[in-house]
Amino acid sequence: MKYIIFLSLLVIIAGFVYWRLRPYINAVRHVLNVVRGVRVEHVGEGRASPAADLKQNSRRGTSPAPAGGKLVRCQSCGIWLPASRAVALRSSTNSFCTYACLERAADHPQRTRKSAS
């Protein structure tokens, strides 16, 4: 009987400690996932070919950002983003950052921002 009481008390204390440390444990997990996701590349050592990088990016659903890529400004909210990521209409030169901004501009055409150029 003493062992059962001692064991249940030990489980309660361990649960309380875990409950109090859970936010810190989650933060450490998040940091470790970020560190694991970062790929450190050294020149000439273990560097994959550009074709392999392109293949890996296409599997992830992203495209590599060009080094000298053109920036465009969202006509609705005014933020700058790469032209490759912009949502653009075929019939106009206006660019938007998301479909939500495109819809917002369609709902309120007088509130769209004008570009300086």
Please say if the pLDDT value at position 47 is more than 60: no
> Do 95 and 106 meet the contact criterion of CB atoms below 8 Å apart?
no
Q: For residue 115, what pLDDT is reported?
A: 60
Query: Looking at the whole model, is its pTM more than 0.75?
Result: no
Which DSSP string do the residues of 52-100 spell out, in sequence order?
HHHHHHHHHT--PPPTTPPEEE-TTT--EEEGGG-EE-TTSS-EESSHH
Summarised one tens digit per residue, pLDDT across range 49-105 is: 444 544 444 444 445 555 567 888 888 888 998 888 888 877 778 888 888 888 888
Q: For residue 6, what pLDDT is reported?
A: 92
Q: For residue 15, what pLDDT is reported?
A: 94
How far apart, in whole angstroms, are the C-alpha atoms of residue 78 and residue 76? 6
Q: For residue 67, what pLDDT is reported?
A: 56
- 92 burial type by CB count under 10 A (0-12 exposed, 13-18 middle, 19+ buried): exposed
Q: For residue 65, what pLDDT is reported?
A: 53
Summarised one tens digit per residue, pLDDT across range 4-44 is: 999 999 999 999 999 999 999 999 998 888 887 775 544 44
Q: Which amino acid is present at 106?
A: A
Q: For residue 54, what pLDDT is reported?
A: 46
How far apart, in whole angstroms, are the C-alpha atoms of residue 47 and residue 17? 44
Give 102's contacts (C-beta < 8 A, 6+ positions apart).
76, 87, 89, 96
Q: For residue 70, what pLDDT is reported?
A: 87
Sort strands 95-96 and 80-82 into parallel, antiparallel or unpaired.
unpaired
